[in-house]
Structure 1
């Protein structure tokens, strides 16, 4: 086996796409990042993406990617084997690549993390266990009062504040600067939506990564004062239906595996589990 590296995103995508779309919803993170970079010509980061391909007898059997300084992404690919993950870990280590963590399907991440610990002496710690959901058709959901609207410039301060709240709730890094940048980006791309009741925004969600046939929803958040009114359910159902009506064949999203409330909400809407993901940090 050999590992090849390229900075040509289009070439990487052309070679990797057939492997990644076999489990398109599960690989929405990697596919979405690649699509974004090809469309914008930028990773929104300082360094170019690290794009790796594992070939065996000249045939592509696995790929991996990182947009520094973020986590290494290990896709969900059927050809994944322990020796491939070990080879990737050794390759990155000998190249002096710094990794804050790794994210991907549970078995692949565990195999990589074990080898990385052995090579570096760092400690791999579980940051989050997630379920990956896919929706092909929205179940009928009683939406009650309220309606879906796209957020605009006047909502920027609200989106920023709610992103900070989302970060705390989801236990993801979200300081004031990052929340402000994300709010501006979401509104500028017209991707963030609000559920509005009696003229008052009560919940938000964002249309995120686009793949060949699907789109991902993220940053679903309802402030405590508006919880337990079904607003998030109504919002995600309405946004999911809109995205299907726009021509997407499916919607996908991640949930915290340990949160029964959010998992119950998405299942009622029509989302079903298609995979599991785990995120490790290296300390």
Structure 2
């Protein structure tokens, strides 16, 4: 069997120079790794690890980016016949003094990575956030979403500073609804709300000028971007506003990007949910692991 090579990079710029062309080939599965790498390019003196496994013919098979006291982000596995690549890179990561608090990745890489970490170290993890990933390339309009979109009373706009208080309330509501353990979101709600406004990517569906639903464009990459924090407050639910907001926001985003991806809780019907009715198609399973010991 061909020999594999471990390469550890001195900085994230060198890491991206060597790996980015491969990471964009499977951009959706590498979204968090790419986004975090680009964020690290803007920050100094933040301890992290970045490494990759290369085949004998100089093809990248697997990559890891990990932050001290933070998350480990795993890439997709480029050759599924070589799962040992995950174990090899995990061993190299564990030679460092980084304190890994969580792991994020797509299946089946996530389970293989967990086995490797717990085999080669004393660390243990528990899955805290299992999700299904969906991808959209073209919006599918239901009659109700089309009706809402076409109404003269309907508008879609970006959030501004005047929406800050509303966004705090809705962000709190979203976190309470979306997570069994709301503490999984450690960032203050005020900070998240400020980021929503600053990103110029938080869309508000308004009826007669009043916001009734929201969706946030996040993690923009070379080809696609993601949708998150989709939320309709209880008083506006069961009216079709959530689906209309997702459809109208997605339509606007697809003018700039080739695809949109989002995560849906693993407990939902994978074939019939708000997002599939708008045209999102199942892509795969992903998850987040939290360190126990």
CA deviations over 1:32-85 (Å, ceiling 9, x no partner): 3334445xx238xx7254321222337232211124433211122322533122
Larger proportion of helix: 1
Q: Which string of whole-angstrom CA distances, capped at 9 and with x for unpartnered residues, describes residues 207-259 of structure 1?
A: 101111111111111222222222111111111100112x2111111111212
C-alpha distance 10-47 of structure 1, shift in aligned 2 (>3 A): closer
Give the alignment partner of residue 183 of structure 1, picking from 189, 193, 213: 193
Q: Which runs of 5+ in 1 are unaligned?
A: none
Larger Rg: 2
Contact 1:19 1:77 in 2 (8 A): no
Greater displacement, 127-136 / 195-204: 195-204
Contact 2:68/2:98 (8 A) holds in 1? no
Partner of 2:22: 19
Can you list the C-alpha shifts for 1:76-115, whole angstroms capped at 9, x where unaligned?
A: 2322533122122222222122111211122211111122
Q: Partner of 2:251 in structure 1?
A: 241
Structure 2 residue aligned with 1:4 = 7
Give the equivalent residue in structure 2 for 1:52: 51
Check the 8 A contact 2:215/2:246 in 1, yes or no.
yes
Mark the CA change 1:274 to 1:52 in structure 2 (over 3 Å): closer, same or farther.
same
1:1-283 equivalences in 2 (<5 Å): 1-38=4-41, 41-42=42-43, 47-57=46-56, 59=58, 60-79=60-79, 81-141=82-142, 142-143=144-145, 144=148, 146-171=154-179, 172=182, 173-174=184-185, 178-245=188-255, 247-260=256-269, 264-283=273-292
Structure 2 residue runs of 5 or longer lacking an equivalent are none
Residues 72 and 104, structure 2, Cα contact 8 Å, conserved in 1: yes
TM-score when normalising by structure 2: 0.85
| Count of matched residue positions in the alignment of Structure 1 and Structure 2 | 277
User: Which deviates the most, 51-60 or 223-232?
Assistant: 51-60
